[in-house]
C-alpha cells in the first residue's frame, strides 16, 4: 500500500495545532500554537477569546506544518480535523478551515473525535502498539477508562460522573494560589510535600462501577483550606497538593488495574494532558509491574492537545474507507465511538 500523508488540524480548546502524519505513526511536523498566556489572566479558558485566537493562528500554523514537513498541499492524501468534543466556536474554526481546504484541493475530509485522537497518540510513540489494550484518558475536560478492542473500536468502561481529573487539578491549584493551568504546578510542588499529611477522601462508589468522581476530593480540599484559614493556621501548600494528588492518582490507578483484570488485558496506555503527571506515571508503572501489566505513555508533547494525534486517529479511519461529507458539523458533546 502507498504511504498515506494526512494533514491534521486541531482547535477544540485553547491550542491551535496542525501536523503532517504519514501512515498514522510517523510525524513529519507537529505545530502547536498555545493560547495559555492569553487565558491565564482569566484563570481558565474563555470560549469567545479562544475562537478569536484560533482564527488569528490557524492559517499560520497550517502553513508552518506543511513547510516543516516539506510537503506541498498536492502531496496530501486527506485533510483531518477534530469535530468534537470541545468548545463549539473553537471547533468551528478548525472545521471550516479544513472543509475549505479539502474542497479547494479536491481531497477527502476526515472528521476525528478528539478523545480518539488522545488515545491514538500512543500509536505514534509506541510503533509496535496494537489493540487490544486499556486506555486511561485523563485531560482537562475528560476522564475515561476505554477498552480499545481494535483500531477505531472503543468501549467506555468507566468515566467521571462530575469533574474531569484535570479540571479538579486546575480548581485545587487555583484555590492554592498556584495559577493556571494547575496540573503541572501541583505535580511539581507535590514533590516537596508529604502525601500522607492530610487524608482526603478517595472517590469510591459503593456499587461495582469503575466510574470516577473528583468533585468530592476537590470539595474536601476547599473545605480544609477554609477551616485552616478560619483557625488562622498556616497552610502547607506542598502537603495539601501532594495529599490531593495521592487521592486522585490512587483511584485512577485502582480502577484501571481492575479493568485490566476484568478484561484480561495486560497493556495500559495513558492519554491526555494529565498523562504527563509524574505521580500517575510512577504509580501505574509500580502497580502494573507487580501484575505483569505493561504501562505506556506518550511523550508530553503528544499528551497535551496536538494535531499529530488527530492525524494518527484519522489514518485508521481513512484506510477503512471512513471519510466525512462536507455537511459534517461541530459536535461539542460528541461521545467516544459515536459518529
Ligand atoms: O489534554 P489537555 O491538554 O487538554 C484537554 O483536552 O483538556 O489537558 C489539559 C489538562 C489541564 O487540566 C492540565 O492542568 C492537565 O491537563 N495537566 C496536568 C499535568 N500537565 C497537564 N495535570 C496533572 N499533572 C500534570 N503534569
Ligand atoms: Zn485534549
Ligand 1 atom with least separation from CA of 170: 14
Please give all residues whose beta carbon lies within 6 A of any atom in ligand 1, as ranges: 13, 139-141, 166, 169-170, 181-184, 187, 272-274, 276-277, 304-305
> Residue 123 C-alpha to ligand 1 middle, in angstroms?
20
Q: Where are the alpha helices (DSSP H) in 33-133?
A: 36-40, 47-69, 88-105, 114-125
> Residue 159 C-alpha to ligand 1 middle, in angstroms?
17
> Residue 122 C-alpha to ligand 1 middle, in angstroms?
16
Q: Alpha-carbon torsion 62, 333, 312, 168, what sign?
A: positive
Separation of first and last alpha carbons in the chain: 26
**Residue ID of nearest Cα to ligand 1 atom 11:** 140
Q: Is the pTM for the entire model greater than 0.75?
A: yes
Burial of 59-90, coded b for 16+ CB within 10 Å and e otherwise, reads eebbeebbeebebeeeebbbbbbbbbbbbbbb
Q: Which ligand is nearest to the CA of 184?
A: 1
Binding-site annotation, residues for substrate: 137-141, 170, 183, 187, 277
SS3 of 132, please? coil
**Residue ID of nearest Cα to ligand 1 atom 8:** 273
Query: pLDDT by residue for the chain (339 residues), tens digit each?
Result: 799 999 999 999 989 999 999 999 999 999 998 877 777 777 778 888 889 999 999 999 999 999 999 999 999 999 999 999 999 999 999 999 999 999 999 999 999 999 999 999 999 999 999 999 999 999 999 999 999 999 999 999 999 999 999 999 999 999 999 988 899 999 999 999 999 999 998 866 767 899 999 999 999 999 999 999 999 999 999 999 999 999 999 999 999 999 999 999 999 999 999 999 999 999 999 999 999 999 999 999 999 999 999 999 999 999 999 999 999 999 999 999 887
pLDDT value at residue 66: 98
Q: Which ligand is nearest to the CA of 276?
A: 1
Quickly list DSSP for 222-282: HHHHHHHHHTTPPP-HHHHHHHHHHHHHHHHHHHHHHHHHHHT--EEEEESGGGG-HHHHH
pLDDT value at residue 180: 83
> Residue 325 C-alpha to ligand 1 middle, in angstroms?
32
> Residue 166 C-alpha to ligand 1 middle, in angstroms?
5
Percent helix, strand, coil in the chain, to 5, is 45, 20, 35
245: left (phi over 0), alpha (psi -120 to 50) or beta: alpha
Neighbour tally for 195: CB within 10 Å: 18
Strands ordered across the beta sheet of 26-34: 26-34, 15-22, 5-10, 78-84, 109-113
> Residue 86 C-alpha to ligand 1 middle, in angstroms?
15
Backbone angles phi, psi at 45, to 5 degrees: -80, 125
Q: Which ligand is nearest to the CA of 140?
A: 1
Of 43, 176, 183, the residue with max ligand 1 atoms within 8 A of its CB, to mutate for a pocket test, comes to: 183
Domain at 5-122+302-320, CATH homologous superfamily: ATPase, nucleotide binding domain (3.30.420.40)
User: Where do the structural domains in the chain lie, given as residue ranges?
Assistant: 5-122+302-320, 131-297
Residues in contact with 175: Cβ distance below 8 Å, sequence separation at least 6, in sequence order: 221, 222, 225
Output the nine-digit C-alpha cell for 285. Answer: 508503572
Q: Which ligand is nearest to the CA of 252?
A: 1
Output the nine-digit C-alpha cell for 223. Answer: 473545605
**Residue ID of nearest Cα to ligand 1 atom 14:** 183
* Pairing label, strands 294-296, 267-271: parallel
**Residues 133, 135, 139: CA angle, nearest 5 degrees:** 170
Q: Do domains 5-122+302-320 and 131-297 have the same CATH topology?
A: yes
Fold exhibited by the domain 131-297: Nucleotidyltransferase; domain 5 (3.30.420)
pLDDT value at residue 173: 97
Ligand 1 atom with least separation from CA of 173: 14
Amino acid at each position: 500500500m502507498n504511504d498515506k500523508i494526512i494533514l491534521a488540524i486541531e482547535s477544540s480548546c485553547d491550542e491551535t495545532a496542525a501536523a503532517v502524519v504519514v501512515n498514522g505513526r510517523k510525524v513529519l511536523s507537529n505545530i502547536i500554537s498555545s493560547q495559555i498566556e492569553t487565558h491565564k489572566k482569566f484563570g481558565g479558558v474563555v470560549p469567545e477569546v479562544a475562537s478569536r485566537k484560533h482564527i488569528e493562528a490557524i492559517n499560520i500554523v497550517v502553513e508552518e506544518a506543511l513547510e516543516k514537513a516539506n510537503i506541498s498541499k498536492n502531496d496530501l492524501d486527506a485533510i483531518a480535523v477534530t469535530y468534537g468534543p470541545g468548545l463549539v466556536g473553537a471547533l468551528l474554526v478548525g472545521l471550516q478551515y479544513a472543509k475549505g481546504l479539502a474542497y479547494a484541493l479536491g481531497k477527502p475530509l476526515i472528521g476525528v473525535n478528539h478523545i480518539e485522537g488522545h488515545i491514538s497518540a500512543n500509536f505514534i510513540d509506541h510503533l509496535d502498539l496494537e489493540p487490544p489494550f486499556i486506555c486511561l484518558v485523563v485531560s482537562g475536560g475528560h476522564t475515561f477508562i476505554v477498552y480499545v478492542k481494535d483500531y477505531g473500536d472503543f468501549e467506555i468502561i468507566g468515566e467521571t460522573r462530575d469533574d474531569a481529573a484535570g479540571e479538579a487539578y486546575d480548581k485545587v491549584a487555583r484555590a492554592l494560589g498556584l495559577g493556571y493551568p494547575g496540573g503541572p504546578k501541583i505535580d511539581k510542588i507535590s514533590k516537596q510535600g508529604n502525601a500522607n499529611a492530610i487524608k482526603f477522601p478517595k472517590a469510591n462508589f459503593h456499587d461495582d462501577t469503575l466510574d470516577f468522581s473528583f468533585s468530592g476530593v476537590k470539595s474536601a480540599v476547599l473545605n480544609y483550606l477554609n477551616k485552616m484559614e478560619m483557625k488562622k493556621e498556616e497552610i502547607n501548600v506542598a502537603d495539601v497538593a501532594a495529599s490531593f494528588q495521592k487521592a486522585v492518582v490512587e483511584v485512577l490507578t485502582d480502577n484501571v488495574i481492575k479493568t485490566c483484570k476484568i478484561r484480561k488485558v495486560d497493556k495500559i496506555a495513558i492519554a491526555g494532558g494529565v498523562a504527563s503527571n509524574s505521580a500517575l506515571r510512577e504509580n501505574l508503572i509500580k502497580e502494573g509491574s507487580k501484575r505483569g501489566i505493561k504501562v505506556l505513555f506518550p511523550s508530553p508533547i503528544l499528551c497535551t492537545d496536538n494535531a499529530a494525534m488527530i492525524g494518527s486517529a484519522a489514518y485508521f479511519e481513512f484506510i477503512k474507507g471512513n471519510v466525512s461529507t462536507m455537511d459534517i458539523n461541530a459536535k461539542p458533546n460528541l461521545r467516544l465511538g459515536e459518529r
